[in-house]
Amino acid sequence: MATLQKIAPFLWFDEKMEEAVKFYVSILPDSRITTLNPMTAQFELCGVTFMALNGGPQFKFTEAVSLFVTCKDQEEVDSYWNAFLANGGSASQCGWLKDKFGLSWQIIPEALGRYMSDPDREKAGRVMQAMLQMKKIIVAELDRAAG
């Protein structure tokens, strides 16, 4: 078994844990399954260790916890956005979505963080207002709002 980081997210699935783990590993780079059996899995996404369980229907994912994916550009945003929505995911607001297993993700371009932390608070405010109108974050629209 691979060495775990001190803290690892533990994901509880109803019955599709193996399908979900394989789905996530297929989308994100530097990802792999380290152990997998019918009840549990240990896997890495972008080098971060996760645990998973086929725990049954008692608990569901909520938006109270999401996985934040930083994207270098629009191409990467589009790639992850489309992959996570494939086959039953649902888009939400401001770069958030739920995948087909109900797990919430934030697909966020680096440009958003850069603009939001700009010392020009008026520029940051315009970018925030533009972002609030979006589902998938569009970098060109952020750029226009930043002026």
Q: Are residues 67 and 135 in the same domain?
A: yes
Q: What is the pTM of this model?
A: 0.93
Within a domain: 1: no
pLDDT at 5: 83
pLDDT at 2: 53
Within a domain: 2: no
Residue 25's domain comprises 8-57
Q: How many independent structural domains does the chain possess?
A: 2
Any idea what the CATH number is for the domain that residue 25 is in?
A: 3.10.180.10
pLDDT at 80: 98
Structure tokens at 10: 């533990």
Within a domain: 107: yes
Q: Report the alpha-carbon distance of residue 112 to residue 18 in Å, rounded.
A: 33
- How far does the chain reach from its first CA to its final CA, in angstroms? 51
pLDDT at 13: 97
Q: Sign of the CA dihedral 134, 135, 140, 143?
A: positive
Q: Over the range 16-30, which residues count as b (16 or more CB within 10 Å of their CB) and which as e?
A: ebbebbebbbebbee
| Per-residue pLDDT in tens (0 to 9) along the chain, 147 residues | 556 689 999 999 999 999 999 999 999 999 999 999 999 999 999 999 999 999 999 999 999 999 999 999 999 999 999 999 999 999 999 999 999 999 999 999 999 999 999 999 999 999 999 999 999 999 999 999 999
pLDDT at 104: 98
